[in-house]
Structure 1
Amino acid sequence: MTIGVPAVGAVLVMLLYVPFNYICSRIIKSYQVKQMQLKDRRLKFTSEVKMFRMSVFQLVIHGISIVKMYTWEEAFEKEISELRNKEVSYLRKASLLTRVVQSVNSAAPYMVAIACFSWFVLSSPENILMPSVAFVALTVFKKLRRPMALLAPSIQFISKAIVCGSRINDFLQAEELERSKDVEGDDEISITLENCFFSWKNEKEHLKDVIVATQWFLCPKCSLSRYRLRYTCNREKYTPWLDLWEVGSQRCCQRFLGTALSGGQRSRVCVARALYQDCDIFIMDEPFSSVDASVACSMYEKMFGRQGALLKKTVVYATHSIEFTKNATLIHVLDATKLHKKTKTVMFEPPQPPDVRQVETVAEGRIKGNVYLTYLKALSYKWVTVFLVLIICHYITQALSNVWLSRWANNNAKQTDSSNTTDGLIIYVILGVVIVLLNIAAAISSTYGSMRASLALHRPLVKSIMRAPLQFFEETPIGRILSRLSGDVDIIDIPLPMNIRLVVDSIIHVRTLKPSFLASHWKLHERCYMRNLSDCDNIGGDQHIDACICRIRRTIYYMLRDDPLNTCFQKYFLPSNRQIKRIESAQRSQLLAVLSQNIDGADSIRAYRRVKTTLLSFYEDVDSFVRCRYLAPATARWLTLRLELIGNIMVFACAVLVALFNEMDLITAGEVGLCVSYALSITDLMNFSVRMMALSEANIVAVERIKEYHDLESESNTRSDYPLLDSWPHSGTIEFRNFCIRYGKSEKMAVKNLTLTIKGGEKIGIVGRTGSGKTSIARGLLRLVEEAEGDVFIDGVNIAELGLQELSLAELFIEDPVLFSSTLRFNVDPFNHFADSDIWLALEACQVKEMASKHKAGLLMEIEEGGKNISSGERQLLCLCRSLLEGGKILILDETTASLDYATQVVRECFQQATIISIAHKLETIGECDK
């Protein structure tokens, strides 16, 4: 006997799932779009705080330096947390809807069974639900459970793939660089510009009718130097860019972006690289600004002297320095956007301290227990308990529904009337509804727990990174940090919670398949399991047969348990899968670092005609990453094949034995159906649970990597108990006593036994060659480097006894121009401490009011990432404006005047009462200092 026409009810229920999933997928997609937009803002904001993706690679270090010097860590943490909270709110909505849809989909077998059996029983009094009908149909319906359970996450992933594909398509549709063509030219004329204009995108001001550019800083001569001369020339930019290559070789990797070299050394390596190309035309932007005077003169003589390397070359270079124009054939002076004059006659970048490369280590062996404990605490014991109670109740109810169906079918087989049919159907429907509701409740509780874990793990991650000492950022490649903030956080947001829920779900489901469901007879089950097997061996006749059957049933049960699989699973698959995930994460960090570096150096890569070489190298890194990604599904397929084979053997053994028991009249037809139904279910469950356990342990590596950054060494406290006066610092007197400083574990002192007294209000100049320790003095004064010896006193207070935030009230350090991609107001006053009128006064004092006022947005004008849409000098003045607003008795200038023209030197006017320490390469930049 078969179901017949009532099977149409099952089809109708399945059809209802289609619009339900479609509507929910559209809603989920809208949440995902908003969540990814907020994620972009968070990552961009976070990366800019550490300057991960700035075009000027020195800002990788100095961006976080600015944050630490102003002790803005807490404020930036708050901003990032707010973005993260908004992101998680959309993620929570999408996850809740996904889990509800998933729960409803996984209940499809019961909904289909209820519809089908109800139609069958209620359509005619003659239709009696027999075991042969009920369990054949139920077995078919249960085959829908796993595909339907995976339907919701599949829809979610497809929606996310569509969103990601759209975003990638927008990127691929962006404007591309025009390919140049080889043309014949006049050998007697090197460069001719006729009726040309050069401007930045969306800028009205432009340059025209110029050949050689030297100018006052407000003139955007970089626009000219960045003009592409059809790849027939070589260009060296204002900011030296170094790839991950060794000096003198073509491959990496001494230090990320050259941070093992000082600023002057990086500049000289870049100039040497340009000369090595032996091009016909060279374009250089401030090639001598980041080296001291003697080195600059030596370089100039060797490049442009009587026997200089560029004597017979066409060279166009932009400079502020008059002394480097003496050998120029023609000098063009630019004023604003116009050619000011032609004539025969007509200042930049600090050094870096040395640092040591830190290689990323890949953990090995089993995941430590404290990693699981960390995630368990992040989930909250409350939500874990609620979820476990609900999911256990769900599967107990599910087991009861199957037992009830078995009894109901057996009773129908014994009766000839249908008097109890309605009562049995009502109970079965009630159990089915309870199953669905418990599953939805468990899904909701797991979602709230997982979102809490995402926030609980992300918050200390950001705090730990922000509070890490400056040396950490100098030693750690940006891709490694960004990988934690993006890839690993993404894993703890969605895949890890889903995997863990499915693992718990599957394990509890398997454990609810008690031996009682394999019993061939209820009395036999009670007899065999209420007394020991040894007692069964001592009885004779029928009881001995019962004992043998008990052994067989126990054998089936232990076969269906996952114990025989644990050895194969743990010994071979799990360690390999876990280590593959670790290596994949490390490869992702390297890939992000290389990608960021190539974006930063795009101009240099094109100028040196190394686009193809760079792409090939990048493709190799991508291939290495993809190989790691490929190994994960490959090992999963290896496991799946073996699990399917073992599962099929189990099903075959169970089917043979229950058929034998039925022939011996030891079990009823309903119990035969129950046994076979569970044997088929348990095969899929075991396969699925083992794979989910593997994925969970692989993804828990993300928690391991995030926890590694939770335990980063932290800098000193921001506050202390020292009783400071409100007026401190009152004069700005600084005293160094046997002051020494070193970087990392280096035995060499950057500054050794410095003893110096600077009176309040004095203007002190510090001049020295590259790498002589000038910047190290300033860093030590601000306690940006803790490996210091000796004492430093400010107005009689030892700075070692102060918190970093208290120390920031005394000193303002202006080094490289560091700007964030936000409004002008945000860049000078990130946290709205000052009124607009105060900001306008500060802009006017720093001579950048005109630049701001000519924009319609005024203080709300957008500053691009790193301040790319304004000149270097304007960036410097905005940073100076930031310091002017903050006030303070001590000001440290580290080569700040190198990018400024003499007409815009506002320091002496705005900081007359402050103690100023000016660090420079060149004597002329500190001519007004007291000593």
Structure 2
Amino acid sequence: SLESPALQQLSFTVRRGELLAVIGPVGAGKSSLLSAVLGELPKDKGLINVTGRIAYVSQQPWVFSGTVRSNILFDKEYEKEKYEKVLKVCALKKDLELLANGDLTVIGDRGATLSGGQKARVNLARLVLFAVSKIYKLAVYQDADIYLLDDPLSAVDAEVGRHLFEKCICQALHQKISVLVTHQLQYLRAANQILILKDGKMVGKGTYSEFLRSGIDFASLLKKDEEVEQPLVPGTPNLKSARSRTFSESSVWSHDSSVHSQKDGAVEQSPVENALAAVPEESRSEGKINFKVYRKYFTAGANYFVIFILLVFNILAQVAYVLQDWWFSYWANHQEKLNVLRNGNNGTNETEHLDLNFYLGIYAGLTVATILFGIIRSLLVFQVLVNSGQTLHNKMFQSILKAPVLFFDRNPIGRILNRFSKDIGHLDDLLPLTFLDFVQTLLQIFGVVAVAVAVIPWILIPLIPLFILFIFLRRYFLDTSRDIKRLESTTRSPVFSHLSSSLQGLWTIRALKAEERFQKLFDAHQDLHSEAWFLFLTTSRWFAVRLDAICAIFVVVVAFGSLILAKSLNAGQVGLALSYAITLMGTFQWGVRQSAEVENLMISVERVMEYTELEKEAPWETDKHPPPEWPSQGMIAFENVNFTYSLDGPLVLRHLSVLIKPKEKVGIVGRTGAGKSSLIAALFRLAEPEGRIWIDKYLTSELGLHDLRKKISIIPQEPLLFTGTMRKNLDPFNEYTDEELWNALEEVQLKEVVEDLPNKMEMQLAESGSNFSVGQRQLVCLAIAVLKKNRILIIDEATANVDPR
């Protein structure tokens, strides 16, 4: 954050029924003003007096995963008449008619199934719902008194923007207090008050007519903007009538052309959401863990030779451990025989003494070998399994990077976070320890059984049925616990998704007083996950209780068997049999439980491997490389192009043939959802189009994606910056000099802003660049495009969040 306050010396009053328009250059503090009214920006001094309930529309539209209707109603009761009025006011009727399921169409995570303009209108419809009841004299809902609108018209086309301003802001909200942040100065004449901000300070306040008479900079801004705009109210004199008529005629031509184009099939007026009818449920495997999963897991960490060495050292460690006990017993037995002989030779002076150094040396050697082999075994196990986790994480990360954009639209962020957090956590933390413990226990069971059978062969009689019973019980338990574990893993994803979505829309949730609703939603997701987790715990307890019961029966059988065979056994053998029975009871039980736990943890490996085998985009690199200077001209040709976001989805571009000559500046216009962004997606091959697209006589489908995409610059509609320094965002690969970086910032009018930062170019940006305004983020994206100096520049509503200058 900066040392200077975001807002300084502001004083204004807005009364009921008034519209306050807030304007100013990028980074002037307009959004900060609204956040201060919301109470999200703490004040150092002064008084903010807010009387009434607040409703808020954010600059970047926020929608949550659910249907269009649920996003608009926001947990309020559905009343058809009122709801239809809201859709009409917000110009959503036509868009909903294009959807397969209308307003019951599921919006994907982050609203991926809607265009930017559609998300903006859904966001606005949610707010209008608070006010429309009184306007149309319908059933009274919970009503708001103050409406904060943070540039809601920037993401929609001019015609829809005028409709929203007139029908929604001027009519539906005319009895309310409305604060509109905007860069579209043609709407200012309808405002009761206009507030001009610059650098967080108020540089002007008054009415539209007062500013026109004053002749300050506002008037020149208005003229520049009105040169390309129609009058807001029919009959209102325009400052540049000739240019207005030209614009009006152009609008009519554009409208007619779009109608003819649709009839000819050039662009289908179908939004992207048709290709993404609904967010599918997370896939879940069934049945046993495939042996292939085990094999891939272990071979991801080491080759077969290292795995063989690992097995050898595990066996050697256990053999050394058993031999240590055996040698101690052998030493004790030999010493006992010598004592007997010594007692029988009391009358003679000839006695035999053990060589203690020999016996002690062997025992010490076995002890050292046990410790040494145990350490090597543990180090090898952890080395192999941690490497496996690292390798699988990297493969999953590479697979995610190469996945098509459709994958991210169809899979909520919570699913991806779940795999990278909890599942990878299991691979790194729990699985190596559990597997090592299982191997140790298994080998210990073999060692103890071997010694026990060698000393007391009849102990095999109860051991064999015990072993068979354990195997049957383990299989029965795993048939249930595996699926419950998979269910627990998949029910965790919605918790992450809901939390992520709620954090993104936190200001909106607080402004609409919907904290309780989202808390309940979170509780519902958490309860569902807790239910699955509790089921897993109870099945584990069920398994443990039955293991304990079977082991207790085994000890009883051995004890009573010893009584039955008392005549053929001495006291030492009976004691040894009971000792081994108790040892085997605990070891058997723990071994079976750990083997089941290993299988349950392997589900995380299975889920990670699923993401290592995702469908991939086209190759990043191909054998056909264009020359370094390509494209030398910048000619683009679309030849009979059809485009869809998925193989089973409808066409969003149909039979499109366009020629864009070098150095031409082409504007792509159309109603929200008409396919403008889809045309850009086809050029970048975010999904593979049918037909042919040429750039300077090179067919784009024959080029690697890296060669294609790095030669096209784009300024996206929703700007995104990465966590790191400003320098790393502008020049992540250190390709440009400081002078070039500063020149680029100067060209986009950001040089002064960056120079005022505490560390200038080394200033750390917050997540997604949130410590910069949306307009400033968009200017940074423009600076990156300026640095690239590519011959092809795609601008997707790049001026939506910046002022006219």
User: What TM-score does the superposition give when structure 2 sets the normalisation length?
Assistant: 0.79
Give the aligned partner of residue 65 of structure 2.
244
| Percent identity of equivalent pairs | 32
Is residue 515–residue 554 contact of structure 1 (8 Å, CA) maintained in 2?
A: no
Alignment partner of 2:715 out of 794, 814, 833: 814
Question: Match for 2:353: what amino acid?
Answer: S
CA distance in 1, matches of 2:625, 2:763: 42
**Residue 322 of structure 2 corresponds to which residue in structure 1?**
399
Q: CA deviation at 1:460?
A: 0.8
CA distance in 2, matches of 1:622, 1:814: 39
The equivalent residue for 1:411 is: 334
Question: Counterpart of 1:328?
Answer: 191
How far apart, in 2, do the equivalents of 1:364 and 1:575 lie?
9
Match of 1:569 in 2: 474
1:520–1:475 CA distance, 2 compared to 1 (3 A): closer
**1:752 alignment partner, SS class:** strand
Structure 2 counterpart of 1:627: 531
Q: Is the 8 A contact 2:298 2:385 kept in 1?
A: no
Partner of 1:286: 151
Mapped partners of 2:409, 2:271: distance in 1: 10
Q: 2:268 aligned with 1:366, yes or no?
A: no
Q: Using the alignment, how far apart are the partners of 2:368 and 2:203 within structure 1?
A: 84
The one-letter code sitting in structure 1 at the alignment partner of 2:26 is F
Helix, strand or coil at the partner of 1:373: helix
Contact 1:520–1:658 at 8 Å: present in 2 too?
Answer: no
Of 498, 517, 533 in structure 2, the residue corresponding to residue 613 of structure 1 is 517
1:630 aligned partner, one-letter code: F
Q: Secondary structure at the match of 1:364?
A: coil
Q: CA deviation at 1:778?
A: 1.1
Which residue of 10, 19, 36 maps to 1:209?
10
Q: Report the 3-state secondary structure (helix = DSSP H, G, I; strand = E; otherwise coil) of the residue aligned with 2:502.
A: helix
Contact 2:7 2:33 in 1 (8 A): no
Using the TM superposition, give the Cα deviation of residue 840 of structure 1 relative to its aligned residue in structure 2, in angstroms: 1.4
Structure 1 residues 717 and 599: CA distance shift in structure 2, 3 A: same
3-state SS in 2 of match to 1:222:
helix
Work out whether residues 390 and 442 of structure 1, in 8 Å CA contact, stay in contact via their aligned partners in 2: yes
Measured after TM superposition, the shift of residue 672 of structure 1 is 4.3
Structure 1 residues 221-250: Cα deviation after superposition (integer angstroms, max 9, x where no partner): 000011226672111111111123323345
Given that residues 518 and 675 in structure 1 are in contact (C-alpha distance below 8 angstroms), is that contact kept between their aligned partners in structure 2? no
Q: CA deviation at 1:828?
A: 0.7
Q: How many residues align?
A: 665
165, 178, 181: which is aligned to 1:318? Answer: 181
Distance in structure 2 (CA, Å) of the matches to 1:858 and 1:850: 10
- Using the alignment, how far apart are the partners of 1:402 and 1:769 within structure 2? 84
After the TM superposition, which of the residue ranges 290-299 and 740-749 deviates more from structure 2?
A: 740-749
SS, match of residue 448 in structure 2: coil
Q: Name segments (4+ residues, structure 1) moved above 6 Å.
A: none
Matches within 5 A, 1:420-569: 420=354, 422=356, 423-515=358-450, 517-519=452-454, 552-559=458-465, 562-569=467-474
* Equivalent-residue separation in structure 2 for 1:775 and 1:858 (angstroms): 34
Structure 1 residues 326, 724: closer, same or farther in 2, change over 3 A? same
> Matched residues in 1 for 2:432 and 2:583: separation?
24
2:595 is aligned with 1:732 = no
Cα deviations by residue, 1:582-637 (Å, 9 ceiling, x for unpaired): 11111111110011001111000001001112112212211222222222222222
Measured in 1, the distance between the counterparts of 2:551 and 2:299 equals 36
Q: Which residue of 1 aligns with 2:683?
A: 781
Is contact 1:217-1:320 (8 Å) kept? Answer: no
Shift in alpha-carbon separation, 1:204–1:226, aligned structure 2, 3 A:
closer
**Contact 2:338–2:353, Cα closer than 8 Å, also in 1:** no
Deviation, 1:753, is: 1.4
User: What's 1:694 paired with?
Assistant: 596
Give 5+ residue unaligned stretches, structure 2.
13-19, 40-49, 76-103, 131-142, 209-221, 226-269, 343-351
Q: After superposition, give the CA deviation of every residue in 1:745-765 in whole Å (9 maximum; x if it has no partner).
A: 355321111111111111111
Aligned partner of 1:389 among 312, 315, 318? 312
State the one-letter code of the partner of 1:369.
F
Which string of whole-angstrom CA distances, capped at 9 and with x for unpartnered residues, describes residues 700-724 of structure 1?
0111111111110111111222252
Q: Is the 8 A contact 2:548 2:589 kept in 1?
A: yes
Distance 1:557 1:749, change over 3 A: closer
CA contact (8 A) 2:54 2:147 kept: yes
Q: Does the C-alpha gap of structure 1 residues 244 and 708 become closer, same or farther in structure 2, counting only changes over 3 Å? A: same
Change (3 A) 1:721 1:245: closer
Distance in 1 (CA, whole Å) between partners of 2:500 and 2:24 is 32
Cα distance, 1:743–1:255 mapped onto 2, change above 3 Å: same
Deviations 1:288-321 (A, max 9, x none): 111111111112121244xx11111111111111
- Distance apart, 1:442 and its partner CA: 0.8
- The residue number in structure 2 matching 1:579 is 483
Match of 1:914 in 2: none
Shift of 1:520: 5.1
Q: Corresponding residue for 2:124?
A: 271
What secondary structure sits across from 1:235 in the alignment?
A: strand
Q: Residue 512 of structure 1 aligns to a residue in which SS?
A: helix
Partner SS, residue 714 of structure 1: coil
SS at the partner of 1:891? Answer: strand
Of 869, 879, 891, which residue of structure 1 is paired with 2:793? 891
Contact 1:729-1:889 within 8 A present in 2 as well: yes
Does the 8 Å contact 1:559/1:650 carry over to 2? no
Q: CA deviation at 1:362?
A: 1.7
SS at match of 1:415: helix
**CA distance in 1: counterparts of 2:459 and 2:192, whole angstroms:** 100
Structure 1: which 5+ runs fail to align?
1-199, 522-549, 904-931
Q: In the superposition, relative to structure 1, how do residues 352 and 467 fare at CA in structure 2: closer, same or farther (>3 Å)?
A: farther
The answer for the alignment partner of 1:299 in structure 2 is 164
Amino acid aligned to 1:238:
Q
Q: Which residue of 2 aligns with 1:81?
A: none
Q: Which residue of 704, 710, 714 corresponds with 1:803? A: 704
1:518-544 alpha-carbon deviations (Å, 9 max, x no partner): 3457xxxxxxxxxxxxxxxxxxxxxxx
Residue matched to 1:791: 692
2:766 maps to 1:832: no
Contact 1:730 1:889 in 2 (8 A): yes
Q: Give, in angstroms, the shift of residue 674 of structure 1.
A: 3.8
Q: 1:379 aligns with which of 301, 305, 314?
A: 301
Aligned to 1:849: 751
CA RMSD of the aligned region, Å? 2.3
Q: Given the alignment of the two structures, is residue 220 of structure 1 paired with residue 26 of structure 2, yes or no?
A: no
Q: Secondary structure at the match of 1:283?
A: strand
- CA shift for structure 1 position 860: 0.3
Distance 1:556 1:217 in 2: 82
Deviation at 1:388, TM superposition (A): 1.5
Superposed displacement of residue 661, structure 1: 4.9
**Given the superposition, is the C-alpha separation of residues 461 and 304 from structure 1 closer, same or farther in structure 2, using an over 3 Å criterion?**
closer
Q: Which amino acid aligns with 2:531?
A: R
Determine the structure 2 residue equivalent to 1:339: 202
- Structure-2 change in CA distance of 1:337 and 1:791 (3 Å): same
**8 Å contact kept, 2:481–2:536:** yes
8 Å CA contact 2:442–2:591 kept in 1: the answer is: yes
Report the CA distance between 1:869 and its aligned residue: 1.3
Correspondences of 1:87-102 after superposition (within 5 Å): none
User: In structure 2, the residue corresponding to 1:763 is in which secondary structure?
Assistant: coil
User: In structure 1, the residue corresponding to 2:600 is in which secondary structure?
Assistant: helix
Q: CA deviation at 1:431?
A: 2.4
